Amino acid sequence: MSRIAVVQTPPVFLDRAATLAKAADAVAEAAKGGARVVVFPEAFVPGYPAWIWRLRPGGDMALTEKLHALLRANAVDLSRDDLAPLREAAKRHKVAVVCGVHERDADFGGGTLYNTVVVIGADGAILNRHRKLMPTNPERMVWGFGDASGLKTVDTPCGRVGVMICWESYMPLARYALYAQGIDVYVAPSYDSGGAGSRPCSTSRARPAAGSPGPAARCAPATSGLDAGQVRAVQEPRGVGESGTR
């Protein structure tokens, strides 16, 4: 049976380069354990903007602006090949990688960020880019709407993989679009620490699609929630020039 690994580690919050280095190390570890596909959580690079659920729209606006500036500076631009370290790790270890990122589309102004999941093949090529169709509640203050062009399945060492992000898995017609393409493994990356007060969609999952042939693939939850040090980083943000962006 092919093995799928779901990475359970937080990012280096709001630091794209350091997070990608950490992701590459995780890919190496997973491949050493026999994984053929490695899954990371929603918005793993450079971390989920948890402040949108906590900071006040008016009184905390200055802090929100600083955090958003850091987020934008560390977002992923695929046209710049910002994911090169992760692509190289996938190729080096001959595994496919599914990873959530904040995507900045420089081809159309560069001002809009998207909640994106990228599927990287075992040859290091980007096989698919799916942008979350409808950001959830306050997420719309950070991300634009996806256009559904990424609702497709792609071949990986573990079969045909399709991706939908967190609560968009509640959209039956979007799921059916993947089912109709012969999906084998349905991947649902999500943000959550999984603790008290967590939202219902609290894990990253890789599981067999309904009606698909072959054995079940059950994976443990993954999280891009914040640890204690990252909470302090949110409360005392760095300046944009100190973001660690390479």
| Cα–Cα distance, 170 to 245 (Å, whole number) | 35
Q: Would you call 66 a catalytic residue per the annotation?
A: no
Q: Which of 22, 42, 103, 219 is catalytic?
A: 42
Spatial CB neighbours of 200, under 8 Å, sequence gap ≥ 6: none
| Cα–Cα distance, 90 to 36 (Å, whole number) | 10
Joined tokens for residue 26: 């995780």
Joined tokens for residue 216: 């079940």
Torsion of CA 50, 24, 150, 173, to 10 degrees: -60
Q: Which of 99, 158, 166, 201 is catalytic?
A: 166
Q: Would you call 242 a catalytic residue per the annotation?
A: no
CB 96 within 8 A of CB 121: yes
CB 11 within 8 A of CB 19: yes
- Residue 178: phi and psi, rounded to 5, are -75, -40
CA 198 to chain centre: 18
Per DSSP, the three-state class of 78 is helix
Q: Of 120, 119, 123, 126, which is closest to residue 94 (Cα–Cα)?
A: 123
**C-alpha distances in angstroms, 201 versus 58, 111, 140?**
28, 28, 17
| Cα–Cα distance, 64 to 128 (Å, whole number) | 31
Burial class (CB in 10 A: 0-12, 13-18, 19+), 95: buried
Q: Which of 22, 99, 132, 201 is catalytic?
A: 132
Report, as residue numbers or ranges, the catalytic residues: 42, 132, 166
